[in-house]
Each structure stands twice: as C-alpha cells, then as structure tokens.
Amino acid sequence: MLKMIGVETFYGKIKALHGVSLEVLEGQLVCILGANGAGKSTILKTITGLVEPEYGTIHFNGQRIDRMDAEDIIKLGIGHVPEWRRIFAELTVKENLQMGGFLLKEKDLIHERMVEAFHHFPILEKRKDQQAGKMSGGEQQMLAISRALMLKPKLLLLDEPSLGLSPLLVQDIFATIKELHKAGTTILLVEQNVNHALKIADYGYVLTTGKIFLSGTYEELLDEEKVREQYLGEGKYNRRAKVWSG
C-alpha cells in the first residue's frame, strides 16, 4: 500500500531523513520506533505532504505522491493524527469531527461517521457540545483519532498516540488501535512506548538519527541486543513477563 524509497528530507540545511526506505502492506500494522529527534514524525509529515522530500520517492497504492499537495494526498485515503493531537481547541467536539469530514457532502454520512466515532470512544458523545480545548489530554487524543477516521482512510498514520497520557489511558488508546486494525484499517504507528507498540504490530522499523537502523517482526527485534538495551528503552527484556525494564 505504501512504499518509501531512499527518501531524504531537509529542514533548511539540516537533513532530517537519510535515505529512508520502508513499506506498509495492506492490512498491516507497522510501527516506527526510536528516540526523540530520530526523525519519526518527519517520516509521517513527508508522507502526507506537510514536508516535501528533497530526494527519493513515495508511492501509495501504486501512485507517486511525494510531489502532491497535502489536500490531494488526504483525498487518496491517508489520515494523519499528528503529535500532540492538534485538535481545534476553540471548537466543540462535534465541530472538530465535522472538520475531519470536510470532504463529505451528505449530512447523513457525516452523522453516520460520528456515530462510529462515539462507538469507539463513548466519552466523546457525552462531550460532543463541549469545547475541545477544555477536555483532558486523553479525551483530546480520542478526538484526534476520531477526527482522522471521519473520512474512512485506507491508511491511518498515528504519531505518538500515547504521548503525555496516564498508563491507564495508554492501555485504552492501544486497545482501540488494535480494534481498528482488526477491523481492517492499515496503520503506520510512530511510538516510543515499546511494550505496547511491538505487541500489536506486524512489523517494526527502528530509526536513529534519520536512518533505518533495524527492521523486523516482534520476535526478530527482541533478539537484537542493541535494540533491547539502547534504542528500546535502555533496559532488559523479560521474556517470561514480556515487558521491558530499565
């Protein structure tokens, strides 16, 4: 579904991505792991056209998109939940969802998509007339995901959905991501929370200083000592408990 080949992205004269190549097959949940500043968010921004790559190509369902405008990329079926949610704080929950469905013309369809959002996150229905900026961080994350789902994207990009949330809310968010994946949504997930991300992913890439350092399945990455101790939390992996400790 998605293929990046030798992508290099710059911020001014600073190179953020160094020849990044990765792919996401239809129906997969793929995660990108790495420390702060590794370039994870830049990959998602480059895919969605918010940042234009200097070199390399990006294809979505066989169509080259690396020179397309962000709006046209969205129309092809790519949804993006950015880092730190980026909801419209002054608007209500309902208005935020309506903004997410800006391409939808039929009012009945907009209502139907909202009902689906409320199914995934019932708290949003209770808050539908509340100003989004006054909700908790967890509720805002639920809204950000729901807003991206309004257009039924073929590929959903999630940027650090667990960022700043309590452990209990992190579990809820990842349970919903797992549910969306099982329902058929293809997902590219950027995360630092290794315990949650790798457990639900079909495949993972480890990024360091803008380069793909390693890639593999859950079990393959567990066998990489450098990943376990340096890039995935500077700790040890407890195989019996299936958790990292640092």
158-170 pLDDT, tens digit each: 999 888 888 888 8
Kindly report, as residue ranges, where domains of CATH 3.40.50.300 are found in the chain: 2-77+153-245
Identify the band that residue 37 occupies on the pLDDT scale cut at 50, 70 and 90.
confident
Q: How far from 222 is each of 23, 236, 246, CA to CA, in Å? A: 21, 10, 15
Does position 241 have pLDDT exceeding 80, yes or no? no
Name the pLDDT band for 3 (thresholds 50, 70, 90). very high
Q: Are 66 and 54 in contact (CB under 8 A)?
A: no
What pLDDT, on a 0 to 100 scale, did the predictor assign at position 239?
52
pLDDT of 40-87, one tens digit each?
999 999 999 999 999 999 999 999 999 999 999 999 999 999 887 788
pLDDT recorded at residue 234: 47
* pLDDT of res. 246: 47
Nearest to 21 by CA among 49, 2, 48: 2
Average predicted confidence (pLDDT) for the chain = 87
At the topology level, CATH places domain 2-77+153-245 in Rossmann fold (3.40.50)
Residue 217 pLDDT class (50, 70, 90 cuts): confident
Average pLDDT over residues 187-203: 88
Sheet holding 55-60, edge to edge: 14-24, 2-11, 55-60, 63-64
- Tell whether the model's pLDDT for residue 89 goes beyond 80: yes
